[in-house]
Structures are given as structure tokens and as C-alpha cells.
């Protein structure tokens, strides 16, 4: 991670194919295409890779979250349970539909705590949305049991974890809906892009229409298409889909490199007393995009993070103080700072999360450091990095 590190001839060839056709839009202009439909082709390959019936490409991971929720009819006043540790897009997509993000604690998986989820369910709850942060998953088996018990949708945000699996199923395919991001820094990149995957025929149809202004896509005359319901413009371009088409076919190659680099560093760090690794639920296999570990307390974690940076060990993140990924810096959410007026439901029902006790999340995220695993590292470079990390952490712990 990220896939742009290994851009090459395959990506260039796919993009050139689009340029040669002259059609950059995914819909219409059939006579000019010479049978080339990059978005449709990528959707087919992605669905096969993820072992689902349907994939719908959109313009970003944020768009994928929004379209997925909309495709399931989630809207004004509906509650969506999500974790305190994620990217801001999680609550942005919920609020965009007038729904209510309900933040709950994470546990030692760094993802949704099933116990916290169960306590947060109300009559308004419609969706449980685990976010598989930094390449590893929530305990999907427990979350599915909770969803089945309360008749809720299980919606996987797998934007950071493409290629991981749970009980042999690709992440994103275990729940009712799954989403991926293909932005510039993801393991598979389109430059900008995202996707919704599902086995539900109606959700797929809804996602297809909603992401393109409500067009029904019936026939071969775009101007004659009807609009069964309102939608918005979340389309991906053929150029972006072309890059993704080359990249998705390299996913197994990328995962193999990530695993090799991850395991070299993990095996080295395992020798450090007082350092432990994030929990991967039974039945889970990471995508190996990040190596996440815990130190004895938050003070030690901050000290180690600073020492790693000073020593030139880049791409290590202390999420506890991060502006984008942890609830502590989401003042704009708590204060409901928005350019347009927020809906009545959001204004009345959204909690002030600056006053909520998330000490369980703080306990885990405050002690965590996550290190990005790059695809471009040579094996000897990874081993040198691992040795330096051991020396720095051992001295600072």
C-alpha cells in the first residue's frame, strides 16, 4: 500500500486504450467506444474477486459509503452505528443523507466493539457499520449475530482493507453491503474512485440508478432514460476505471508483497518486551496494509512515535492526535459546523461527542502506533527498517 508505487506498463496501456477511444465518460457514446467499457469491466472483475453478485463503481470511497446507505433506504433520522476510530468520510456519508452517526467504542481490534454496539442500539438504529481500519477487520461474526437479533443491516466499510478475509470470505462481502476506496493512497488505486459490493439485487439496482442522477440505464439512448427516483452524480470516469482495472488484476501480487514486508517487521518487533500487536479476530486474515501495535501506555506511545520520526522511520502514525481519524479532533462534528443548514433530525438527534466518555477507545488508540507497509520497499530495505525500529523502540520504551 499504496498501489501507485508500482504503476507500470499495464496501467499505461489501459489508460491509453481510453484515450484512443476518446470516450472518458462511463455511460453513452456507444458508437465511439469500439466495445470498450472500462467501468463495466472493472465491476465484473471486482465482483469476481470479492465473491459477490454485484459491484457498482463510483467516484470515491466517500461516494461509495453514501450510495450504499442510500441504496438500502437509509435517510433522515435513521441511526447508523460507527466507530470512534475511522476516517471522517464515515460520518460525512451518514450526515449527507440526513441520518445520524452514532459513535461507539473500539476494542483491541481497533474496530467496533460488539459489546459497545449492543448497548448503543435504539429504536432508530438501522445499520451497524464496522470500519476495517488499517487493513484488519472487526469481529464480523459477533456483529452479524447482533444485527440478526435486532433486524439491522451489517454494512462493511472495507475502504482500508481490500484483500483481507474473514472466515474465508473477502472483507466487504460478509455483510449486506461493503465498500472500497480506490483513492491515490489505497492498495488498489484508480487515482480517485470507490465501489459498492453486494449480493442484494435491489441494492445493486438502487446503487446503479442513485449514483447517476436516478437514470434507469434502460436501452441505448441516454436521453430517453427514465428516472424511477432522484439521484446524484457519483459516477466514476473511464480514465479512473482504466487505472483500477490494471490495478485490481495485480491485487494478489500486491498482497504478497505487503505480507512479506509486514511479517519481516512484525517478527523483529515481537522481541520487544512490553510491545503487543492488535488483535485479529479468529477466522480473520489481514490485508497487511499496516502493522499496528500497542505500547504499555499513551505516554510511551507518544515518546516512541516521536523517536521513530526523529530517527527517520517514516509512515508511522499515532492516531490518537490525528485530525482526520479519531473522534477527539472532530470538533466540526460535535459543533455541527456545516455550510448549509443541517436537517431538523440531525440538529435534534446528533449528540455532542466532545462530552461523551470514550475511555475504552482512548485506552486502545492512545497506546497504538500503526506503520504503513509500502509496496515499493526492497527486502533488504525492509530488514534494515525493522532493525532500526527495534533499536529505537527498545531504547524509548
Asked whether the beta carbons of 152 and 127 are under 8 A apart, the reply is: yes
Buried b (16+ CB within 10 A) or exposed e, 54-93: bbbbbbbbbbbbbbbbbbbebeebbbbbbbbbbbbbbbeb
Look up 126 and say whether it is catalytic. no
User: What DSSP assignment string belongs to 295-341?
Assistant: -SSHHHHHHHHHHHHHTT--SEE-GGG-TTTBGGG-HHHHTT--SSP
Closest among 157, 161, 140 to 94, alpha carbons compared: 157
Put residue 374 in one of left, alpha, beta given phi > 0 → left and psi -120 to 50 → alpha.
beta
With 0-12 / 13-18 / 19 or more C-beta atoms within 10 angstroms meaning exposed / middle / buried, residue 254 is: buried
| Burial status of residue 42 (CB atoms within 10 A of its CB: 0-12, 13-18, 19 or more) | buried
Q: What is the CA radius of gyration of the chain?
A: 21
C-alpha cell at 70: 442510500
Measured CA to CA, the distance from residue 89 to residue 324 in angstroms comes to 9
List 38, 144, 186, 204, catalytic entry: 186
Dist. CA 325–CA 329, nearest whole Å: 8
Q: How far is CA 229 from CA 8, 28, 139, in A?
A: 41, 20, 36
Closest to 40 in 3D by CA, of 244, 220, 210, 215:
244
Cβ atoms of residues 25 and 209 within 8 Å = no
- DSSP track, 35-100: T--HHHHHHHHHHHHHT-SEEEEES-HHHHHHHHHHHTT--TT-EEEEESBS-THHHHHHHHTT-E
Q: Which residues are catalytic?
A: 186
Amino acid at each position: 500500500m499504496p498501489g501507485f508505487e508500482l504503476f507500470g506498463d499495464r496501467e499505461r496501456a489501459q489508460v491509453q486504450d481510453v484515450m484512443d477511444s476518446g470516450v472518458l465518460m462511463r455511460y453513452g457514446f456507444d458508437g465511439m467506444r469500439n466495445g470498450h467499457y472500462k467501468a463495466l469491466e472493472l465491476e465484473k472483475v471486482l465482483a469476481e474477486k470479492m465473491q459477490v453478485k454485484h459491484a457498482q463503481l463510483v467516484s470515491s470511497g466517500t461516494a461509495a459509503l453514501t450510495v450504499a446507505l442510500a441504496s438500502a433506504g437509509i435517510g433522515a433520522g435513521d441511526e447508523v452505528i460507527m466507530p470512534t476510530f475511522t476516517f471522517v468520510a464515515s460520518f460525512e456519508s451518514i450526515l449527507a443523507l440526513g441520518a445520524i452517526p452514532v459513535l461507539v467504542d473500539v476494542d483491541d481490534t481497533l474496530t467496533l466493539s460488539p459489546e459497545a454496539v449492543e448497548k448503543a442500539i435504539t429504536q432508530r438504529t438501522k445499520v451497524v457499520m464496522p470500519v476495517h481500519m488499517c487493513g484488519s477487520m472487526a469481529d464480523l461474526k459477533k456483529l452479524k449475530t447482533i444485527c440478526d437479533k435486532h433486524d439491522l443491516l451489517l454494512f462493511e466499510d472495507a475502504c482500508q482493507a481490500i484483500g483481507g478475509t474473514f472466515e474465508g470470505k473477502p472483507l466487504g462481502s460478509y455483510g449486506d453491503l461493503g465498500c472500497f476506496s480506490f483513492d491515490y493512497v489505497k492498495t488498489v488505486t484508480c487515482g480517485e474512485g470507490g465501489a459498492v459490493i453486494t449480493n442484494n439485487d435491489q441494492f445493486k439496482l438502487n446503487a446503479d440508478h442513485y449514483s447517476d442522477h436516478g437514470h434507469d440505464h434502460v436501452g441505448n439512448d441516454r436521453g430517453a432514460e427514465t428516472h424511477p427516483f432522484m439521484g446524484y452524480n457519483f459516477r466514476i470516469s473511464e480514465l479512473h476505471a482504466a487505472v483500477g482495472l490494471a490495478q485490481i488484476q495485480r491485487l494478489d501480487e500486491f498482497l504478497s508483497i505487503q505480507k512479506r514486508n509486514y511479517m519481516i517487521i512484525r517478527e523483529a518487533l515481537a522481541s520487544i518486551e512490553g510491545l503487543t500487536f492488535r488483535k485479529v479476530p479468529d477466522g480473520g486474515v489481514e490485508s497487511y496494509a499496516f502493522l499496528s501495535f500497542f505500547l504499555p501506555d499513551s505516554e510511551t506511545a507518544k515518546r516512541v512515535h516521536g523517536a521513530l520520526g526523529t530517527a527517520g522511520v517514516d509512515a508511522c502514525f499515532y492516531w490518537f492526535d490525528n485530525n482526520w481519524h479519531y473522534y477527539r479532533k472532530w470538533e466540526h462534528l460535535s459543533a455541527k459546523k456545516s455550510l448549509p443548514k443541517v436537517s431538523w433530525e440531525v440538529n435534534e438527534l446528533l449528540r455532542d461527542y466532545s462530552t461523551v466518555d470514550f475511555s475504552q477507545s482512548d485506552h486502545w488508540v492512545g497506546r497504538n502506533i500503526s506503520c504503513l507497509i509500502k509496496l515499493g520497499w526492497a527486502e533488504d530495505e525492509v530488514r534494515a527498517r525493522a532493525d532500526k525500529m527495534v533499536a529505537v523502540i527498545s531504547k524509548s520504551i
